[in-house]
A = this chain, B = another copy of it.
Amino acid sequence: MLDQFQHVFRSHLTPLSFIKRSAFVYPNKTAIVHGDKRYTYREFGERVNRLASALKARGFKKGDRCAVLLPNIPPMLDAHFGVMLAGGLIVPINIRLAPAEVEYILNHSGASFLICDTEFAKVVEPIRKNLQTVKHFIDVNDEPGHGSLGGTDYEAFLQEGSPDPVEWCIEDELEEVSINYTSGPTGRPKGVVFCHRGAYLNAINEVLETHQHPESVYMWTLPMFHCNGWCFTWGVTALGATHVCLRRFDPEAVWPLIKKEGVTHFNGAPVVLIALLNASNRPKKVEGPLTITTAGAPPSPTLIENVQAMGAEIIHVYGLTETYGPTTICASTPDT
């Protein structure tokens, strides 16, 4: 079967098809919300092309690694498609790590680029002299008042690229797209490698199992550096649904945001849900449909009851970095 005619009936499974399709089908629909900023799917697609072509223009090649040290802001979504589009692997780094851990991951992954929010310049500065492979620093200036690594401003970097479509360079859908470092109980962090096919499949299954659809509005309480946001970075985009960014988690700020943006879905560990339920401004009942997917630790029966009492749907999933995030679900089986 794996013959010369396969290209006529078989295409590679890759998240790149998600942004390509949504930018084509939903050019004027809101793709990303970040405070007062709004990007349509056309703009999102163009920024992804810009990032990919800017990386390539600086010599980034197939199989190269681009690390990101970013909170849940639009450049993090750009990077989830743009790095892959340039043929490389994204290496999302936990923003809560200590400098020595960041150093280990940057060197171990062999990242040639680091896209870093200026808030975390203070983490990188002390270890900068120890970095063996990073040649290009890109500063994301999302919030004023932080230091800087003195790299290229991210928005200026995008201007080095072009919004025109970048040609895919996939030869095999099992080619790698991401390395997520995860710490086991022993030793150094281990890099878990995701491929195009796996990312495509898990992304689609995540949004299917959490009942999302093109009109969904997904809020980023879950860090995108955890298993690429449990693959929702890709899945929400696949549907042409709306990403609502959240630079940092503040329970009191979340409830007004849910109301303002009409959020229908978000994910979070039980500790996040507990914080939200304890917020002083939390409504007694949610106004619209709201589906909350939880994992990371077992939600207590009390927590489940309290979420349901608000009129929200709660879905409990389980997985690990090695399985692209959630891979199994506590299915509702009323009759058993």
Residues of A within 8 A of B (CB): 1-2, 6, 9-10, 13, 25-29, 172, 174-175, 195, 197-198, 201, 204-205, 207-208, 211, 213-215, 239-240, 331-336
Counting from the closest, the 10 A-B pairs by CB-CB distance are A1-B174, A28-B335, A28-B336, A25-B331, A211-B213, A1-B172, A208-B208, A26-B333, A29-B335, A204-B204
Chain B residues whose C-beta falls within 8 Å of the C-beta of A10 in the assembled complex: 174, 197
**Complex alpha-carbon distance, A13 and B197, angstroms:** 11
In the complex, the chain B residue whose C-beta lies closest to that of A11 is B201
**Complex alpha-carbon distance, A213 and B6, angstroms:** 32
Structural contact, A2 and B240, CB atoms closer than 8 A = no
- Assembly of this chain: how many copies? 2
Structural contact, B174 and A28, CB atoms closer than 8 A = no
Structural contact, B336 and A27, CB atoms closer than 8 A = yes
Least distance between A242 CB and chain B CB atoms (Å):
12
Least distance between A52 CB and chain B CB atoms (Å):
22
Chain B residues whose C-beta falls within 8 Å of the C-beta of A239 in the assembled complex: 208
**Complex alpha-carbon distance, A333 and B28, angstroms:** 8
**Complex alpha-carbon distance, A10 and B332, angstroms:** 27
Least distance between A211 CB and chain B CB atoms (Å):
5
Least distance between A84 CB and chain B CB atoms (Å):
16
**Complex alpha-carbon distance, A10 and B196, angstroms:** 12
**Interface pairs (29), CB distance under 8 Å:** A1-B172, A1-B175, A1-B195, A2-B172, A2-B174, A6-B174, A10-B197, A13-B201, A25-B331, A25-B333, A26-B331, A26-B336, A27-B336, A28-B333, A28-B335, A28-B336, A29-B335, A29-B336, A204-B204, A204-B205, A204-B208, A207-B208, A208-B208, A208-B213, A208-B239, A211-B213, A214-B332, A215-B332, A240-B331
Chain B residues whose C-beta falls within 8 Å of the C-beta of A334 in the assembled complex: 29
**Complex alpha-carbon distance, A204 and B2, angstroms:** 23
In the complex, the chain B residue whose C-beta lies closest to that of A238 is B208
In the complex, the chain B residue whose C-beta lies closest to that of A210 is B213
**Complex alpha-carbon distance, A215 and B209, angstroms:** 11
**Complex alpha-carbon distance, A215 and B333, angstroms:** 10
Chain B residues whose C-beta falls within 8 Å of the C-beta of A331 in the assembled complex: 25-26, 214, 240
Structural contact, B208 and A29, CB atoms closer than 8 A = no
